[in-house]
Amino acid sequence: MLRVSKLTDYATAVMTCLASAGDGVTSAQALAERARLELPTVSKLLKQLAQAGLVASTRGINGGYRLARAPERITIADIVTAMEGPIGMTECSAHAGLCDHEPHCGVRVNWQRINQAIANALANVTLADMLHVPRQRASIPVRVAVT
Amino acid sequence: MLRVSKLTDYATAVMTCLASAGDGVTSAQALAERARLELPTVSKLLKQLAQAGLVASTRGINGGYRLARAPERITIADIVTAMEGPIGMTECSAHAGLCDHEPHCGVRVNWQRINQAIANALANVTLADMLHVPRQRASIPVRVAVT
DNA sequence: GATAAATAGTACTATTTCAGTCCTGATTTG
DNA sequence: CAAATCAGGACTGAAATAGTACTATTTATC
């Protein structure tokens, strides 16, 4: 149903917790409790987020994670990409050359444009935005133009 | 990777073929050949599209399918919804009440806003648009505002 | 009215993906 | 050195997906 995976969903929740936690490091354990998720699951996705460079980790006792950048500079698109790979609605728009139909597929270029629109929509919402419950109207002006 | 299913992808291709076929009915067989897909697959998705009211079918010999509305009035969002159900990036944003975390989930409202942005992006591209190879710039002004 | 062509509906299966868990190793603090 | 914590990989059960097959129904033509 055109959805992101649960892991990605959890990842946004955990990242939001991290953003609200401030500057110090927070352990995976503490994040799991705050997000009400299982520790192994949280560990797994934090590892992925760390590899993608969205969070920085500190090992050892009193270790934990913190955001690698300011919440204003981390977007939903970053998180989705970290968890699921490149954003592409169709196989051929994410990776060229895999589809037999490419030579006679007039639809492909248009899908790429749609992808772009969606990627822009995701890139226009930052972690900082997620911290706020939206105001009545127009608090996050997402403006996407396919050009 | 945030993608639509292959069936949905095929559906857009088949719908595009139908749009370019003009007013008469076109058989599933002919559509399969033009889209270079297997007949059973095309039949299956045409049935779904018919149930969703996007195509009209004529039975019997010389039967086939035609668009139920003008291509300008059928959007990618219509096709995606017909094939995959309601557009929702996360479980909780498509169906309320299923998620244990809802009471303490500050992320949910924001996901709903993102969904809306994406739904708008898909709703702003019509079948008629898909028929054209995009011009150099600004041929499909998709403008999405989360308000 | 019989026949052929085409859609309608249902069921089934193999494959793939996803979610979740567990285990072992590496690192740091005390 | 011991405890706490992250890193990396492997594994498994469940679910979704894709594709196929079969039967019933409808309609035009002869």
Interface of A with B in 108-137 (CB under 8 A): 109-111, 113-114, 117-118, 121-122, 124-125, 129-131, 133-134, 137
Give me the mean pLDDT over the A117-127 stretch. 85
Distance of CA B137 to the CA centre of its chain: 24
pLDDT at residue A62, rounded to an integer:
87
Model pLDDT for residues B77-118, shown as the tens digit of each residue: 899 888 887 766 555 544 444 444 544 555 667 777 788 878
Q: Sketch out chain B's domains with CATH numbers.
A: 6-131 (1.10.10.10)
pLDDT at residue A56, rounded to an integer:
92
| Contacts within 8 Å (CB) and 24+ apart, A40-43 | A41/A7, A41/A10, A42/A10, A42/A14
| C-beta neighbour count of B61 within 10 angstroms | 5
Model pLDDT for residues B36-45, shown as the tens digit of each residue: 888 888 899 8
Residue of B nearest to A9 (CA): B90
pLDDT at residue A134, rounded to an integer:
55
- The C-alpha atoms of residue B24 and residue B65 are separated, in whole angstroms, by 8
Give me the mean pLDDT over the A37-62 stretch. 90
